[in-house]
Amino acid sequence: MIIESVVTGVFGTALQITVACLIVSLLAAAYRLLVGPTLADRVVALDLVSMLLVVFLVVFKLVSGVNAYIYVAIGLALISFLATVAFAHYIERARGEMDE
């Protein structure tokens, strides 16, 4: 691991597997974010990346034992939710202007 883990045993191994799966998921979502054929695909991929980062922060808190990562995860979740709503509103307005 990158940092010293405070968790050992079966739970520590499960956290290592979880981090590996999260990294693979982040790479797949980043690919969709960069290649996505439509704007809506990119917005969904951006939301997925932000939620995966929230989960990564929670897992990082479990590995390191530092409680501050939970607060960062909550803040990131709130901001990413607002960003997703703003992007959805932008897409709706852009489609409405195209119909006129």
Q: Give the tens place of pLDDT for each residue, 12-58.
A: 888 889 999 999 999 999 999 999 898 889 999 999 999 999 999 99
Closest C-alpha among 56, 64, 48 to residue 6:
64
pTM to 2 decimal places: 0.83
Is residue 2 scored above 60 in pLDDT? Answer: no
Q: Name, in order, each residue with C-beta under 8 angstroms of 34's C-beta and a sequence gap of 6 or more.
A: none
Confidence of residue 1 (pLDDT cuts 50, 70, 90): very low
Q: Show the domain range for 16.
A: 9-99
Rounded CA-CA distance 73/54 in Å is 5
* CATH code of the domain in which 27 resides: 1.10.287
Mean per-residue pLDDT over the chain, rounded:
88
* Residue 67 DSSP code: T
Residue 4 lies in a domain: no
For residue 47, count other CB atoms closer than 10 A to its CB: 19
Tally the domains of the chain. Answer: 1
